[in-house]
Structure 1
Amino acid sequence: MYGMRKFIPEQILKNRLKILATLNVTNMSRIYIAEDIRTGVKVIVKQPNYEDDPKKDIIKTEGLKTEASILKKLDHPNIVKYIDYETKPWDHLILQFIKGNNLLEIQTQSRLELTYVKEYILGLLEILEYLHTNGIIHRDITPRNFLCEDSLTIIDFGIAQDTSIDYKSKAYKMG
């Protein structure tokens, strides 16, 4: 039994990041907003949602490592930016914080004007073209995975695949 392996508000990571709050918890991960105590810049911290089941925890950790390796090689203004990957005290991925709502929230708050819909679709196509040109398949294209402040930004590469990786040999292969 590992005990609770999750971050808590006010916790400081590597004398650098202060956890401010939990933003979301899914079956696969816990997502926090944190602040760099030196610069005041807000970031996202994503860690596996540990279950104290070694097999499941390995799958989730390997998935997070794959997400980190995919994001690390991408450089596009409309893709969330990789900042760092740490293993202490537990594996976690540090990402750019993007202010704004996801498209699902925007869609439920008000009807989108056709001009914005066209702009979003063109932005989505540009992002997908970049990803596919770089051998990345996102595999979770949903309104909740697009944040919109001034422009559309895609997030959550948790189940993305890099076509240059042989997934048959990976520990997290399901089936």
Structure 2
Amino acid sequence: MKKTTVEALAKENAFELIGKEWMLITAGNKEHCNMMTASWGGIGWLWNKPVAFVFVRPERATYPLIEENEHLTLSFLGHSEAMRKVYNFCGSKSGRDYDKVKETGLTPVETEHGAIGFEEARLTIEGRKMFRTELKADEFIDKEALARWYNDQPGGSLHTMYVVEIENVYE
């Protein structure tokens, strides 16, 4: 991973980047980390800082690692068939049951602030947590979104949203 500037994100289409390519949210350190696939979130400008925001359900094995650590990474692996398999594995298998780094063959790389990215990523964002909030059912204005995404099916609990300051970008 080669460090670049946050301005390098300007060439990316955030809708494509997150919604179509997907990302791995990784938290932890070189002794213990876990990653999960995500396709919800965004990149923008808030509180006069470049930020990313991501959504994580409390049931995810990555959740306590996000809670315990100041930094996390968002890794974008591209659209290849091999990387799509990584995304599918990390999105469907739990870090409680699998060593995802070993199972996917990804090569962990420690970032400037001790978070974990991956050598295979075409783009990695390192962020420092600034804000978190738990989504609440009674705060949904669009009740159809609540019914569709947060029903009684397994994994249907509401997400926690994190806003992270983008401190480093790696290509």
Alignment TM-score, normalising by the size of structure 1: 0.25
The structure whose residues are more often strand, as a share, is: 2
Which of structures 1 and 2 has the larger relative contact order (alpha carbons within 8 angstroms, sep 6+)?
2
Report the TM-score, using the length of structure 2 for normalisation.
0.25
